[in-house]
Amino acid sequence: ETGVTQTPRHLVMGMTNKKSLKCEQHLGHNAMYWYKQSAKKPLELMFVYNFKEQTENNSVPSRFSPECPNSSHLFLHLHTLQPEDSALYLCASSQDPTVGEKLFFGSGTQLSVL
């Protein structure tokens, strides 16, 4: 138990589907992150939220849409994905993203796009 909970653990979706990934942290942290992990690019930073404001978007395609309603919850809305988007999507949290503090990761959502 890391204090960061992700659901679902596994997701299979077609290219025309719309789905959402959910992340919740119980650590009282101020920052939350989405990382993508695939064989080609392990641990690729996608989005950073600090005090529920997005501070980083690393050139992520618009078919990925993050949402952070408060410092404890983070969503990743998915629509019209491509097969190459199949990967493990990891949520993480930390106290302060500006000073490079350690990250606490959730167990991830293994996504397969058919």
52 near another protein (CB under 8 A): no
105 near another protein (CB under 8 A): yes
Please select the residue that binds another protein; options are 5, 20, 22, 45, rule is CB under 8 A: 45
C-alpha distances (whole Å) from 98 to each of 32, 46, 68, 73, 112 are: 12, 16, 18, 19, 32
- Cis peptide leading into 8, omega within 30 of 0? yes
CA pair distance 13, 77, nearest whole angstrom = 13
Nearest distance in Å: CB 65, another protein? 18
CA pair distance 26, 22, nearest whole angstrom = 14
Please select the residue that binds another protein; options are 48, 68, 78, 111, rule is CB under 8 A: 48
90 near another protein (CB under 8 A): yes
Q: Between residues 55 and 70, which has the closer beta carbon with respect to another protein?
A: 55
The dihedral region occupied by 82, where left means phi > 0, alpha psi between -120 and 50, and beta the remainder, is beta
Please select the residue that binds another protein; options are 8, 14, 55, 82, rule is CB under 8 A: 55
Please select the residue that binds another protein; options are 3, 14, 28, 42, rule is CB under 8 A: 42
